[in-house]
Structure 1
């Protein structure tokens, strides 16, 4: 592999959801994950990584062919019974060879993982160069309960249809933060091309969440800050973003991206204060997102 990652980078990614459950909590009736202290919506990093993996598998050819694969995915090994392979069986697809897994599986190069070996208690642990925090909404949320009917009866010969309970969020603007660690990248052999695939998958993968339970996702803001000073990053860049609600609305009354202004003034200031340590700043912004300031002229548009 060529063009191994040499510099540390930070990522900030914001997307919104409307009238859906962005990430249910199986321990709480599959309700949207809520931080009750701040009344904000939480989305796990695992959910974002799944979005990325699914896009790379469905659209970018990482499907087990031509030397490109996703390690963490459902693979059926008994078509008659549709049994899903365990992690040990999945590792067996690559003869438990770490180098082969790293060469073929982009998700291991990005996120790391534990690769099981022959012994059930033995595994190779790889720290992922790309780490995301749990996403958190920038707005207070207003969770709603819905009850509806299903399309099928609950039992054979029954005439009454089943009922469906679900919890949704009318609107949530979810803010993710991540770091690309150049030191861990050496171990997983992460390349610049892999990061290009990651960036595309974050944006386009979110846009392509169009199943019944997930339709309503829209990417709004993506930022990648790459540093030239070794071992340095500002940190907490997502904390420098905020929203200003229009028309005297309460944040819980937000229903669309048109209801607020996206504030990047603090973000611009902190990046300006550290410009001598920054290699470049790249970004993508949805056309409907209204900013409080113009994008600095030295920021570069991401071609996605």
Structure 2
């Protein structure tokens, strides 16, 4: 069995989106704040992590990930539990909760992100605070513009009143010309300590962390669709603290600067480097790793950082 992971981590993941729509709202437009800033929710990055794990590590159970029943309908929460673990246990509420928590902790996405479990019978309601917390991703390249284009369906609209109409349906799709979304993340394995102790379930492991690194470095690139073609992982910064350190770092989102440099983009890490060099911070750091696309230009990289190719993970594994 893999060793339990007990250290705290801070970092960020940068997602590049060129003529693409990384995270659409319900009108199919790239999401924007009231001031016009383009952003993506934390759920967008979490989805790419779960999708990556489902494709590259099928041996792992993913509880909070859509699955279909034999009737080709998305399973309910209770149906998903039954699919993986059988029917909900019976007995005292305390025993039911401990049993359900123990089972859920066998799922890697629960060990990473936690989750809320509210069963139909109400006897196994749980709120699990996951170790991995991810912020909304802010577009740090302000020069990108949102545009829309018309597309044509090969089918006639069945609701057209004129039954003799031969016109096919027109629609629109919206994309962002260029964006570089920065998600901050933190990992505190001790968020699960009490739940693991009370239920006897599986704690976060070194193997889980390795798979998370893979997914944060490769998940967006792997998830390819018509809307998301052009959305790729660009950089993943991993700052692992010394064992026992209680240091808390601020969000790194506004400390990543994306600059234009001739016909390319430059990621400037000067503000992060300055933060990590502070006397109150640097002694708490065990290691710094930067996984980046080899074509990505970086400046002001922390001197202690190890530069790694994000494609070095088993992205293209058959």
Instruction: Pick one of 306, 313, 317 that aligns with 1:299.
Output: 306
1:61 aligns with 2:58: yes
The Cα offsets for residues 260-284 of structure 1, whole Å up to 9 and x where unpaired, read as 3211122112112221011111111
Which residue of structure 2 aligns with residue 278 of structure 1? 285
1:87 aligns with 2:63: no
1:78 aligns with 2:70: yes
Which residue of structure 1 aligns with residue 199 of structure 2? none
CA distance in 2, matches of 1:7, 1:50: 24
Check whether the contact 1:138–1:175 (CA below 8 A) recurs between aligned residues: yes
Instruction: Pick one of 248, 267, 271 that aligns with 2:272.
Output: 267
CA distance in 2, matches of 1:11, 1:225: 6
Which residue of structure 1 aligns with residue 32 of structure 2? 34
Q: TM-score by structure 2 length?
A: 0.82
| Distance 1:211-1:281 versus aligned 2 partners, 3 A rule | same
| Distance 1:190-1:209 versus aligned 2 partners, 3 A rule | same
CA distance in 1, matches of 2:117, 2:25: 27
Structure 1 residues 14-29: aligned runs within 5 Å: 14-26=14-26, 29=27
Which residue of structure 2 aligns with residue 214 of structure 1? 228
The Cα offsets for residues 95-154 of structure 1, whole Å up to 9 and x where unpaired, read as 443212212x11011010112345147411111110101101001131112112123222
CA distance in 2, matches of 1:52, 1:132: 11
Check whether the contact 1:9–1:233 (CA below 8 A) recurs between aligned residues: no
| Distance 1:265-1:198 versus aligned 2 partners, 3 A rule | same
Per-residue deviation, 1:204: 1.7
CA distance in 2, matches of 1:277, 1:297: 13
The Cα offsets for residues 57-93 of structure 1, whole Å up to 9 and x where unpaired, read as 122114xxxxx311012222233xx222111221233
The Cα offsets for residues 23-53 of structure 1, whole Å up to 9 and x where unpaired, read as 1111xx221101231x321101111111111
CA distance in 2, matches of 1:294, 1:231: 24
Number of residues of Structure 1 aligned to a counterpart in Structure 2: 283
Per-residue deviation, 1:299: 2.8
CA distance in 2, matches of 1:11, 1:127: 19
CA distance in 2, matches of 1:157, 1:110: 56
Instruction: Pick one of 151, 163, 176 that aligns with 1:169.
Output: 176
1:204 aligns with 2:207: no
Which residue of structure 2 aligns with residue 13 of structure 1? 13
Check whether the contact 1:8–1:233 (CA below 8 A) recurs between aligned residues: no
Check whether the contact 2:269–2:301 (CA below 8 A) recurs between aligned residues: no
CA distance in 2, matches of 1:275, 1:215: 39
Which residue of structure 2 aligns with residue 255 of structure 1? none
Mark the runs of 5 or more structure 2 residues left unpaired by the alignment.
89-99, 197-202, 314-318
CA distance in 2, matches of 1:300, 1:291: 10
CA distance in 2, matches of 1:298, 1:22: 28
CA distance in 1, matches of 2:271, 2:68: 49
The Cα offsets for residues 170-223 of structure 1, whole Å up to 9 and x where unpaired, read as 111010001101211434611121111111112221111221111111211101
Residue aligned with 1:31, SS: coil
Mark the runs of 5 or more structure 1 residues left unpaired by the alignment.
63-67, 248-257
Check whether the contact 1:203–1:219 (CA below 8 A) recurs between aligned residues: yes
Per-residue deviation, 1:230: 2.5
Check whether the contact 2:78–2:119 (CA below 8 A) recurs between aligned residues: yes
